[in-house]
Structure 1
Amino acid sequence: MSKTPSAAKPRFTGKHMTAILVAGFGVVVSVNLAMATLASSSFGGVVVENSYVASQSFNEWLDKAEASDALGYSVEPTRRADGLVTLTTDGVPVGAQVTAIARHPLGHLPDEALVFVLTSDGSWASTSPLPAGRWTLRFDIAANGNQWRGERHLP
């Protein structure tokens, strides 16, 4: 019986191991850079400047929120074709001062201050238009010595 020469097995060398390590770490670094880029481009900033100082006021904020909720105001914003924002309200007194800060959800556009006036049909309309896009409106309604604050989304 004769033996046929078998093919030589390729050897696993240090070069192979180096290539595997470089490729593996290359994938990890690439994914980390992609995620860091996406994260920094999608969130525009800080929620509070100093979280410890903000935490000292937390219970006070809760008390103000409860007092605000007890007023029973409801506000529903809509955007008109001309860009003005109108509010359908319930419980808001006629002499109230209604203002809002419009914030872009991702922080790409600057905040817009809005002032609302009572219209003849009983709704409130902003005195200046709001650019197109999604906005978060933070309302501040002052009436009869009371303060109401709330937040609504405007698609």
Structure 2
Amino acid sequence: MTQHSRNSQHAPRPFTGRHMAMIMIAFFGVVIAVNVLMARFAVSTFGGVVVENSYVASQHFNRWLDEARVEGALGWKAVLSRTADGRVIAELRDSAGKPLSGAKVTATAEHPLGRRPETELAFRESAPGTYAATLEPGRWRLRLAVTAEGHEWRTVGEVQ
């Protein structure tokens, strides 16, 4: 072996405490970053709905499905929005796209994360097919109930 080839080979570097510290910092840095990301996704998305008694709810499930089919057959649509002065606007249309006028419209406003108590809203018709109610600022999930033309119809929407 020549002198040149002997010098080109380096002795292996010893594994030190500094190397172990860097590995540990990198590992826990990745774990913490993933946890922070997942927690942010969990808090920023819808929190879900829980029934008080799942057994009782299961007994009503088929009836709820039948009611949903009847309501879906009506073809009614609701568009929810918020005005600058804090009012919630519900624009209701029938299956032909015409304004649904003369309806009784109520809603239960729920905070998605349950941070505020539920608020009951009673809408008033401000124009044909357009109903308004006052609701405090924030992100809200509205369970809208509409009674018109001898039918009941329910829908769920969100406003911010």
Whether these two folds match at TM > 0.5 is yes
2:17 matched to which residue of 1? none
Q: Residue in 1 aligned with 2:86?
A: 83
Q: Name the structure 2 match of 1:154.
A: 159
Aligned match of 1:29: none
Query: Retained in 2: the 8 A contact 1:114–1:126?
Result: no
Distance 1:70 1:80, change over 3 A: same
Query: Which residue number corresponds to residue 122 of structure 1?
Result: 128
Instruction: Check 1:46–1:105 CA distance in 2 against 1; reply closer, same or farther (3 A cut).
Output: closer
Instruction: For residue 152 of structure 1, report the CA deviation from its aligned partner.
Output: 0.8
Q: 1:55 to 1:84 in 2, by over 3 A?
A: same
1:57 aligns to what SS in structure 2? Answer: helix
What secondary structure does 2:117 align onto? coil
Aligned-partner Cα distance in 2 for 1:86–1:49: 28
Q: By how many angstroms is 1:93 displaced?
A: 4.1
1:104 equivalent to 2:111? Answer: yes
Separation of aligned partners in 2, 1:68 and 1:83: 29
C-alpha deviation, 1:48, in angstroms? 4.2
User: What corresponds to 1:11 in structure 2?
Assistant: none
Tell me the equivalent position of 1:61: 64
SS of equivalent residue, structure 1 residue 101: strand
Q: 1:146 to 1:153 in 2, by over 3 A?
A: same
The gaps in structure 1 that reach 5 residues or longer are 1-33
Distance 1:152 1:50, change over 3 A: closer
Structure 1 pair 85–51 and aligned structure 2 pair: CA distance change class (3 A): same
Structure-2 separation of matches of 1:57 and 1:64: 11
In structure 2, distance between residues paired with 1:46 and 1:116? 25
Does the CA contact (< 8 Å) of 1:83 and 1:131 recur in 2?
Answer: yes
Q: Distance in 2 between matches of 1:78 and 1:152?
A: 10
Percent of aligned pairs sharing the same letter: 38
SS in 2 for 1:107: coil
**Matched residue pairs, number?**
151
Aligned residue among 110, 128, 150 for 1:145: 150
- TM-score, scaled to structure 1: 0.65
CA distance in 2, matches of 1:50, 1:105: 17
